[in-house]
């Protein structure tokens, strides 16, 4: 079945650091990938839609200069959290669409000290 790999699985870093998270579709090509954020005991909130070869589409309230998205190939999207601060600490999950179904990575736990 369709597999999405996300790396790293967890990151701990100091405030002010930029952090890059990778999302790969392993056995299918994805022109569209999605980035979500999930707070404890809450559901997934869509942050942005990543489109291969073009600019990402951000949801209302998401700072595009804060969360940089690059989708350079049909199997890889990256999310860079720039100058991260403690309030950016969260669980970030990516997904990729294979036909009509979104398949999710196992998430990245980001902790900013």
Partner 1 sequence: EDQVTQSPEALRLQEGESSSLNCSYTVSGLRGLFWYRQDPGKGPEFLFTLYSAGEEKEKERLKATLTKKESFLHITAPKPEDSATYLCAAGLADSWGKLQFGAGTQVVVTP
Q: Of the candidates 17, 20, 44, 82, which one interacts with partner 1 according to CB under 8 A? A: 44
Q: Which is nearer to partner 1, 93 or 110 (CB)?
A: 93
Residue 109 interacting with partner 1 (CB under 8 A):
yes
Residue 42 interacting with partner 1 (CB under 8 A):
yes
Residue 32 interacting with partner 1 (CB under 8 A):
yes
Q: How far is CA 62 from CA 27, 102, 111, in A?
A: 30, 21, 19
Find the binding residues for partner 1 in span 67-86 (CB under 8 A).
none
| Residue numbers at the binding site for partner 1 (CB under 8 A) | 4, 6, 32, 34, 42-46, 49, 93, 95, 97, 100-107, 109
């Amino acid at each position: 079945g369709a597999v999405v790999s996300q790396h790293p699985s967890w990151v701990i870093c100091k405030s002010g650091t930029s952090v890059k998270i990778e999302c790969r579709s392993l056995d299918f090509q994805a022109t569209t990938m999605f980035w979500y954020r999930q707070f404890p005991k809450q559901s997934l909130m869509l942050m942005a839609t990543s489109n291969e070869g073009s600019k990402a589409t951000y949801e209302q309230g998401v700072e595009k200069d804060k969360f940089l998205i690059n989708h350079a190939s049909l199997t890889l999207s990256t999310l860079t959290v720039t100058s991260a601060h403690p309030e950016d600490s969260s669980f970030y999950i990516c997904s990729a669409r294979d036909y009509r179904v979104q398949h999710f990575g196992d998430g990245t736990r980001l902790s900013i000290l």
